[in-house]
Chains A and B, each alone.
Chain A
Amino acid sequence: TQLLEQSPQFLSIQEGENLTVYCNSSSVFSSLQWYRQEPGEGPVLLVTVVTGGEVKKLKRLTFQFGDARKDSSLHITAAQPGDTGLYLCAGAGRNAGNMLTFGGGTRLMVKP
């Protein structure tokens, strides 16, 4: 069974601060996805990283996939109240089916 440890579980920060969310595993993933979920909605895909060492930027969000494809991070610069939500990392295994293993989630609150 592949496990993904996501940290921190909860994060409450002031508008304008920076933050990093980590996703770690002892397993290798063929790809890793980051999702954001707001109350009352399903998870919305933010990014997919596939190559070890890959860095992707989405405005103020920077996503990195570890060289060994076992870990990933999400860094948010100058957080805004609109960034508030549940952030989920999910790894796709190499086995058939591409089923996702989800991390436990990071609940972020950005206070104005």
Chain B
Amino acid sequence: SAVISQKPSRDICQRGTSLTIQCQVDSQVTMMFWYRQQPGQSLTLIATANQGSEATYESGFVIDKFPISRPNLTFSTLTVSNMSPEDSSIYLCSGSNRAGNTIYFGEGSWLTVV
């Protein structure tokens, strides 16, 4: 299976600040995605991180709030901007294998906004 690591694993943030989450994947991964998992809920796709170009956002998510970078094949960042308590969530980095039929997840970044 692919190795996906993200940091920070956990953080407590002040309202109005921004936090950037980093994700590093191994060479088995081709596509990269960012998901959000609100407390007690399933996963919701935020966006697909595209190498060298703007991410593709899902409905309900915008670049100003969740800027994403992917400067190369194995690294991506997600920034949660101007945070409010409603942004308290697990943010998960994921990547698909070369065959494109399996997606692996990092351990998640647990953000609490106070």
Q: Which residues of A are in contact with B by a Cβ distance under 8 Å?
A: 6, 30-31, 33, 35, 40-45, 48, 50, 88, 90, 92, 97-100, 102-105
11 A-B contacts, Cβ less than 8 Å apart?
A6-B42, A31-B102, A42-B90, A48-B102, A90-B43, A99-B45, A99-B48, A100-B33, A100-B103, A104-B42, A105-B42
B53 contacts partner chain A, Cβ-Cβ < 8 Å: no
**Are A97 and B102 touching (Cβ within 8 A)?**
no
Which chain A positions have C-beta within 8 A of B1?
45
In the bound complex, CA of A92 to CA of B33 (Å): 13
**Are A100 and B101 touching (Cβ within 8 A)?**
no
In the bound complex, CA of A33 to CA of B90 (Å): 20
**Are A42 and B106 touching (Cβ within 8 A)?**
yes
Which chain B positions have C-beta within 8 A of A104?
41-42
Closest Cβ of chain A: how far from B93's Cβ, in Å? 9
Q: Kindly identify which residue among B31, B42, B48, B108 contacts A42, using a CB–CB cutoff of 8 Å.
A: B108
In the bound complex, CA of A79 to CA of B68 (Å): 41
Q: Kindly identify which residue among A30, A98, A105 contacts B103, using a CB–CB cutoff of 8 Å.
A: A98
Which chain B positions have C-beta within 8 A of A40?
110
**Are B101 and A31 touching (Cβ within 8 A)?**
yes
